Structures are given as structure tokens and as C-alpha cells.
Amino acid sequence: DVTPEPENTKQMYVAFRISDEDGLLPADNPAGRPIVLQIEVPEDSVASMQDASGRKSTKKQIFYRIPATSTVRIFDAEEMLLQSRIPVYQLGKTVSVTF
């Protein structure tokens, strides 16, 4: 399992490992070669949205997490296997709507 952390400035994670003898292995098993997941979040993807963390209101509010549209790459050593743009909710902003 990979859970992106907003505090992590370099979003690179060993997603899992592959071994010719044992197949798929957990990320922490040194027997296989690492498959690395890189997440790149553009600075402007969620910067213009209002952040709702830490605010209190006496009115009714609905909170919603707007995902950061991120470029995700998967590498086997230096070879890029996949690149795609996907929403990553863990790296997005929490906004509120008051009603």
C-alpha cells in the first residue's frame, strides 16, 4: 500500500518489489528489485482553492476534499513503465461550503 503524505517534498515510494524467483514481493523485502512510484503535483493544481482547515463556523458546513491532479510515474530501475495523470485526494485541499 502506498499513501502519499503532503509533508513529503519528494513524492517517491517503493510500491513493491519483483523477484525472478519469488514474483511479487512487499516493498520492504530486499530480495527483489524495487518498482518505484513517483507522484508529481503541480504547484498551481490546488493553490487557488480556499483551504478549510482550522476554521470554525456556527453555520452548517459541508467539507469536501478536492483532489490534486498529479502526474504519476512508475519506474523499474531507470526505465519508465507508465505515466498518467490521476486525481490524488490525499494531496488535495479540504474546502467547505456553508449553507
What pLDDT, in 10s, does the model give residues 21-38? 999 999 999 999 999 999
The DSSP string of 40-70 is E--TTSSTTSPP-TT---SS-EEEEEEEEEE
Q: What is the pLDDT of residue 29?
A: 95
Neighbours of 70 (CB within 10 A): 22
Contacts of 85 (CB under 8 A, 6+ apart): 69, 70, 71, 72
pLDDT confidence tier of residue 41, bands split at 50, 70 and 90:
confident
pTM of the model: 0.75
Asked whether 29 and 17 are in contact (CB, 8 A), the reply is: yes
1: closest CA among 18, 14, 20, 19? Answer: 14
- Over residues 69-91, mean pLDDT: 95
**Separation of alpha carbons 54 and 76, rounded Å:** 40
